[in-house]
Amino acid sequence: VLAVWASVALGQDIPRIVSEGGRHALYVDGAPFLVLGAQANNSSNYPEPLGKVWPVIERLGANTLEIPVAWEQVEPVEGQFDFAWLDTLLAQARAHDKRLILLWFATWKNTAPAYAPRWVKLDNARFPRMITPTGASHYALSPHARSTLDADRRAFVKLMEYLRDKDSRNTVIMVQVENEPGSYGLVRDHGPEAQRLFAGPVPEALRKRLGRKPGTWREVFGADADEFFQAWAVASHINAVAAAGKAIKPLPMYSNAALAAAAGRQSAATYASGGPVHHVIDIYKAAAPALDLVAPDIYTPDESAVAAYLDFYARRDNPLLVPEIGNSRPFARYFFDVIGHGGIGFAPFGMDATGYANYPLGARSFDEALDLFARIYRLFGPMQREWAKAAAEGKVWGVSEPVGAAAGHQRTIQLGPYRATVSFGRHQFGFDPPTGNPEPTGGAAIAQLGPDEYLVTGFDARVEFALAEAKDGKATGESLLFDRVEEGRFEGGRWIFARVWNGDQVDYGLNFTGQPQVLRVKLARLRTA
């Protein structure tokens, strides 16, 4: 009680993840917060390019900017720390009324040590690379070098001390520790320390969590042993860094994954082995309790793969955050699936005007899909807190437009007593079947506000409600009516009424266009038999 009082009195309601009953919320300033984010390009982490970042963030209507802090820029000379970048960044973020998620680019940045200071990345004796089975040097740093961990951790602690001392307002709401860790082309380290550990027993914490009998890595995990061993080592390093940082200021922290294929198992030499890919989430949970979550970086536009990834990462023990998603047009609609999974945040990657585009992962230009992301953020911005609160209570649903005719250009949402059918590409008047939108831009989101009362919104979609039990049009003696459909908006936590939808606006379902429209829908059952 005293600690709570003290933190409130000091204005230090530190952001935190609150999980209850397998649902999650990111608390910012003491209440659930939905990250309507955008990630800057990798090299935008200097004062000068910020001038090309903020205008894009403003156009998007994002509430959070994800941006790197490089180890090389804060500790260019060993033991000499320089946080001028953060001085500028924090001041400008506050002036723009935006929150920040800092990306700690250190031992692993897309697995490589390129962002480590030169006194680290050029000293292989003290900060060794991984070793291949034939004794050659790999490009990635070994996760088994105490010296590397000590140096990384010391710099990260300085970063967190800076935030403790200079950010009592908590402009920074989360920290990503490393970036897409692991190693490409080599499944695990074969250096002397790695070999010694690999021949030894699987750590008890891991073995018990996975319910396995004791044994060596190979005995326990067979063909998975190399990747699991690497994941344990990388996650342990990240955990030690995160734990030391949290001891200074306990901000939410996470690790992001360069994903493995959603279906089947490709060779671990072909993706970032040891990173938090979906089939090693449990290893990260065992090795890295200091992390609040592991997160998918989504660059495949394939809807079944995206659906699989969201299912993999939205878990009772893992809040869903999508810290990177491609910034081309097909990706925008996946916002609805992410928040439908109770996600705490979403951020297209590469959203600044510094001149780089990661096509074909994302768009040819940062502004190709800006309108699609921006309309979503403008819709959800005013009610992000209400949405995040409903998500924490497990009362949210969301779907996006499927491509191709197989799904019939529609999706179904089960709302307990009701079923919502969301269809795409129809005239607003009448019964014409859905044919899909000219491009897949549609999506709908529903949050339960009370008994029989739902917040309903979306773009380029029609939403229709039915009784869940009334299958195949069979009469049940009951029919479903709209008691009342109000259009309005949330402002400062209050619902502002604009008008009642009736007549054509409800007779053929609730039609959402490109306009930002939010409805409060009260459903009622009419007994007819």
Task: Please report, as ranges, the residues that interact with ligand N0T according to CB under 6 A.
Answer: 42, 110, 179-180, 258, 297, 299, 324, 349, 358, 361
Nearer to ligand N0T, 227 or 324 (CB): 324
Q: In angstroms, give the least distance from the CB of 182 to ligand N0T.
A: 11
Amino acid code (one letter) for 371: D
Nearer to ligand N0T, 327 or 511 (CB): 327
Nearer to ligand N0T, 272 or 420 (CB): 272
Q: In angstroms, give the least distance from the CB of 286 to ligand N0T.
A: 24
Local structure of 361: helix, strand or coil:
coil
Nearer to ligand N0T, 359 or 508 (CB): 359
Q: In angstroms, give the least distance from the CB of 297 to ligand N0T.
A: 5
Closest CA to 108 of 158, 160, 183: 183
Amino acid code (one letter) for 244: A
Closest CA to 154 of 84, 103, 104: 104
Local structure of 369: helix, strand or coil:
coil
Nearer to ligand N0T, 44 or 441 (CB): 44
Structure tokens given for 20: 């209850």
Closest CA to 108 of 88, 77, 138: 138
Contacts of 465 (CB under 8 A, 6+ apart): 418, 419, 420, 421, 480, 482, 521, 523
Nearer to ligand N0T, 168 or 304 (CB): 304
Nearer to ligand N0T, 357 or 466 (CB): 357
Closest CA to 318 of 37, 15, 24: 24
Separation between Cα atoms, residue 59 and residue 45, nearest integer Å: 20
Q: In angstroms, give the least distance from the CB of 61 to ligand N0T.
A: 23
Are 177 and 103 in contact by the 8 Å Cβ rule? The answer is no
Are 113 and 119 in contact by the 8 Å Cβ rule? The answer is no
Q: In angstroms, give the least distance from the CB of 417 to ligand N0T.
A: 42
Separation between Cα atoms, residue 295 and residue 314, nearest integer Å: 9
Q: In angstroms, give the least distance from the CB of 143 to ligand N0T.
A: 18
For ligand N0T, the nearest residue by Cβ is 358
Residue the block writes with tokens 């040097």: 137
Nearer to ligand N0T, 137 or 270 (CB): 270
Sign of the C-alpha dihedral computed for residues 335, 356, 367 and 354 taken in this order = positive
Residues shown for the chain: 529
Nearer to ligand N0T, 156 or 512 (CB): 156
Sign of the C-alpha dihedral computed for residues 40, 42, 46 and 49 taken in this order = negative
Structure tokens given for 130: 């991984």
Are 60 and 351 in contact by the 8 Å Cβ rule? The answer is yes
Closest CA to 345 of 373, 328, 322: 322
Structure tokens given for 285: 């949970």
Local structure of 29: helix, strand or coil:
coil
Separation between Cα atoms, residue 451 and residue 484, nearest integer Å: 13
Nearer to ligand N0T, 117 or 296 (CB): 296
